[in-house]
Amino acid sequence: MARRTTSNSSGSSPGSAGSPGPRNRTPQPLPRRRRSVGDFVKAFLALVALLVLLIGVPGALALQIGWPLPSGAPTLDWLQQEITVGTFINVLTVVVWLAWAQFTACVLVEMKAALSGVGLPNRVPGAGPSQLLARQLVAALLLVGAAAASFTPGLSQLGQQLEGNQRPAVAAAAQQAPGGLLAQQQEQTAASAAALAEQAAGAAAHAEAEGDTKFYRIQPPEGRHHDSLWEVAERHLGDGRRYKEIYQLNKDHTQPDGSKLSEASLIRPGWIMEMPGDARGGELVEMPDEAPKVSQEVQQQISDYARTGGAHQQGGGQQGGGSGQRGGGSGSLDRDTAHISLPEQRPGADRGHEQGQGQQGGQEHAAPAAGEGSGFGLPQALLGAPLLAAGLLGALGRRRRQALWQSALGAVGGRRGMEPPTPTGAAADAQDALLVGADPEGVRLLDRSLRGLAASLAGESRPLPTVYAAWMSGNGDLHLQLAQPAGKPPTPWQLGQDQTFWTLARADAERYEDVDTAAPYPGLVSLGTMDDSRLLLNLESVPGIVSLSGREQDRAGVFASVAAELATNGWSDRMTITLVGFGEDLTPLAPNRLRHLDDVEALVETMEAETRQRRGALGAAGQDSVLTGRTGPAQHTRWAPHLVLLAAEPSAEDAVKLAELASDASRLGIGYLVGTQSGDLPGAAWEMEITSEGKLLAPLLGLELDAQLLPVSQQRAVVELFTDADPERDDDRPATTPPFLVDISEQGRPAVYARLVGPYEIIGLETPDGERSPLLHEALALLLLHREGVHPRVLSSALWPRGVTDDVRDALVERLRDWLGNDPDGTPRLAADATGRLKLAKSVVSDLDVLRSLYHEATQGRGVGSRAVRGRLLTDALVLVRGPLLAERPAGRYGWLTHEIIDAQLPLLVADIGLALSAFHLEKDRAEKAIEALDAALGSAPGDERLWHELLRATHATGDSDRLKRLAADLVARSGARGLPPRTEALLDELLPTWRSGVAAAG
């Protein structure tokens, strides 16, 4: 079972071999910043530059050029005057004055922020380079003073162009990042534990030698921004990377609320932080000299905390810290900081009832693991991804239905592609894994729950809260983790372990109904599981880039899984997914959603245009983010997310550009997942690592997941399934032969005959006694619809959607084998083939097999050369149609039919038979017989436009114009508000030119 990564779970130092921290960084000691002669030189040069730019430039302009603007009011004569050198110089002078005014404003803004110690300053509109220059000059000037400690990090890199260019993106991302989520940024270089511990001890010794110790009290959240060690280090140490020094000084010390700091990202308002000796800023409390600045209560808390601190706590405190974090179960991590934490697991309202269900209760997640040792191996990646499998299975079914209809509408004579090709090899295994692993009910509940929440909030005129992640627990409950507290959730949602968790029990989710509202969080995507809970990260809401480090082949599996689930999930309406650097082309999964770009340069160009467009659209709509836009009148037009998956590592220059674009991405509904080899990526708000063991690590988020992957081999198999079902595929395949042809002669009478087209009946077998009869009937129906064979795990997942053990499944197979019996030669009528799939003998036949065989023989067999044989075979086939498939089947069973396309195949097959028989009769001018055949086919395929067209032609052939008018009026009435299809209108114009006036008169 996956466990949360902590820096002290084993009692070792953070830098020890057992540390679960990032494994892709080279440890380096962080030097303590000391003022040098170079700093004073820089400060002097900065002062000279500021004097020249702020005083020298305007003085020179005033003395040398004077007033550049005209002395009088503008007139039309100006347009007729000659443009002289003086005019050109005056225009340039105005431009220089404006540039000077903008730079002066930047200097004032940067100076105010530096002296006040409030962190990063506001941006001056349109002054990117000017403000950057002003920031560097002011920083260099103040570097030798006390105020420099609270200014922008990275001042030692003054003059380095790359670092300077990175600042705006990092600053914007830092302003948006709550909690400890931005503790790893592009300029971060991880330090070794020994160096950090030495620095922390040195800082404590230095403070003790000076006779004072500085403390900081974690502030409560303001708006959506939460305090973090990174931001504290930025404000008071001058460099956010020094957050580790604060962490080392305070790790495992008892806080006022009794808890302890055990992870650098997990801090809470009200906690006390001992600071290094060189910390500066107005929010610090320097004990004992500045004790009067704070209340008596805070003084007492600081005094108590100081007594518990020190080196004597480092030994025994680590063990307690580790246990303290896990204490109380997985739900003990209720914190006000916005970080991804595992929700508490509470029993559902009907959990006891489910446990009483015996083998069918509470085993939903056990099903994929069943059969591991039985030789029935299937791709584990798809078995362990229920939401991904459900999305792929649903999309595959839609693709196959679309192919059937397009093939039917474009057919002439025998229809090519009446039967989709049967998957073989790896594709067959992938399809079986999808059938076993899919959880369509979970997808349905997730979609209804999220849309229901959005509808409830809209009804209360409340905005959608920003959701960072969703957890789906083992008992089916849904937990949303919010970026910040958003008040009491609407019923039936409840507050979870703290104010940032909204929880919905599965029993309450099942009572939700479909609502007509936009999908609120379409960017949710599964990353993996931890403690029997599945994490869905909202890529759209991340305040910056999500980076993924690790080996290239391991990263590829994560990227493919994310792309496939986003492209096919059932809880989103529309979205664009841009893929760059993918080895396998995943476009066939969802051509309308997925698009591939060749390189990072094309991506940057595309996203720059997309970012400008979205900013303009939000401004024009008067919305501050896509979340508010989704609940407004434009919810179905502008607010679809755009998710970028960059599997290839960008260059340093491209990385900076992407960081700048991502700084405002969460507000615009754009998400970035970027791969990197080193793990050091500019603008990375959340950093994750995929290991060769399949673990997805994010130490500063407190996550260690069993990653959801889609390896290359399974990517190819899944893409093959979609490619074979592509309706636009242009190949020379002949008309597909049914997978199983029956001997329709008198000698081919079967031993067991099942009637599936209409009410379910079985001839040739005695009805089993007891409660197992419905189960055996259902298993036989599944086998009859899959003559190519059924994997045992597919059979068990179809009959027991919540899962079942191997022995129960094997016992059912044995009972089914005994019930079907043996052929006269002793051959069992149910056996396993070489791949382990269960197959029925040819002596077990269904009416659907006979129906397919009769039509095939009439159109591609003996009926081609004999008109009499064709007419007899088609008539016999139409007689077999008694209604829809498995009519009157018991409620609550046969749920696996939703994964099948037989519901589309059977009406098309019946329509083809009716059309062929109608054509057979019209050849001999037997219009009434043709109408009779078409009416019979319409009973099973009422929506087939081809049947109505042939019925119009057959009715016209009778010469009865009144009858034709009545049929036209009936078609118009059936079409409703949508009106008749264009092809039908064109045919009526040809056969009955006055039909429009006749319909109007009838109306």
pLDDT tens for 391-444 read: 999 999 998 888 887 777 665 444 444 567 788 889 999 999 999 999 999 999
pLDDT of residue 367: 37
- DSSP H helices in 845-944: 847-860, 867-879, 902-922, 927-938
Distance in angstroms (rounded) separating the CA atoms of residues 180 and 174: 10
Sign of the torsion formed by the C-alpha atoms of 370, 375, 381 and 386: negative
How far is Cα 148 from Cα 911, in angstroms, rounded to an integer? 81
* Confidence at residue 953, expressed as pLDDT on a 0 to 100 scale: 94
Task: Give the C-alpha distances (Å, rounded to integers) separating 950 from 29, 288, 904, 906, 985.
Answer: 83, 97, 20, 19, 14
The tens digit of pLDDT for each residue in 879-918 reads 999 888 998 888 888 989 988 888 888 998 999 999 999 9
Global pTM exceeds 0.75: no
Please state, in angstroms and rounded to a whole number, the distance separating the CA atoms of residues 795 and 436. 8
CA atoms of 154 and 851, how far apart (whole Å): 77
pLDDT at 78: 62
CA distance 122 to 480: 32
Query: Residues 862, 866, 872, 874: is their CA dihedral positive or negative?
Result: positive
DSSP conformation class of 358: G
The whole-number pLDDT of residue 232 equals 83
**Single-letter residue type at 337:** T
Listed residue (771, 783, 925) closest to 844, CA to CA: 783
pLDDT at position 825: 92
User: H/E element holding 114?
Assistant: helix 85-116
Contacts of residue 907, Cβ cutoff 8 Å, sequence gap at least 6: 940, 941, 943, 944
Spans in the chain with pLDDT lower than 70: 1-39, 67-83, 113-123, 126, 140, 142-212, 221-226, 262-266, 282-283, 286-294, 307-339, 344-377, 409-419, 583-584, 629, 631-639, 727-736, 998-1003
> If you ran DSSP here, which 8-state letter would residue 411 be given?
-
Amino acid type, 566: L
b/e 224-236 (16+ beta carbons within 10 angstroms → b) = bbbbbbbbbbbbb
Q: Which residues contact 316 (CB under 8 A, 6 or more apart)?
A: none
| pLDDT tens-digit readout, 838-859 | 999 999 999 999 999 999 999 8
Q: What angle do CA 500, 502, 503 make, to 5 degrees?
A: 140
Can you tell me the distance from the alpha carbon of 187 to that of 190, in angstroms, rounded to the nearest whole number? 10
Q: Compute the distance between CA of residue 787 and CA of residue 754 in angstroms, rounded to an integer.
A: 14
Query: Which pLDDT score is estimated for 271?
Result: 84
